[in-house]
Amino acid sequence: MVKLSGKENKMKIQVTEKHIRKGIPEDCKKCAIALALQDALEGYNLFDVEVTTDCSSEEFKFNLRESLSCNVYQYTKYTISQTDAVNVYNFINEFDTFSYDGMKNESMPNGDVVHAKPFTFELGGEIEKNTVLSGGLK
């Protein structure tokens, strides 16, 4: 089970140049932030990491799907602070304008001024957990 450590169950997530270069714009499972989450949580038995927003509350949620056993998965949602949400929001808005070269497997900015640069944010506490067995909730 994914357990965040440190102060108040938080984990620092670093979005690096490599994540930006290898991330796919407008893909919530393969964007630079999702890749950074996958790297930070390496060693856990994760199948999916997804970055989503809740439009009603303008709050980012990070969905992690973890394998508990054969055909049994646990979905856990985490959130981030309001301050980090502004930085993530600004990053995603610019990153999603990048071009992606599928032949090179690289993203690149379309303009000369680039604000989507490496940064760090803290993954916050768990807000929701569901266990799924063979396609249905357990």
| Tens-place pLDDT, residues 44-96 | 766 677 777 655 555 667 777 777 777 777 777 787 888 888 888 889 889 99
117 pLDDT tier (thresholds 50, 70, 90):
very high
Cβ neighbours of residue 5 closer than 8 Å, sequence gap 6 or more? 11
Give the C-alpha separation, 51 to 100, whole Å: 18
* Tens digits of residue pLDDT in 4-44: 554 456 788 999 999 999 999 999 889 999 899 889 888 77
**Residue 25: what pLDDT?**
94
- pTM higher than 0.85: no
Strand partners, 126: 78
DSSP-based helix, strand, coil % in the chain, nearest 5: 20, 40, 40
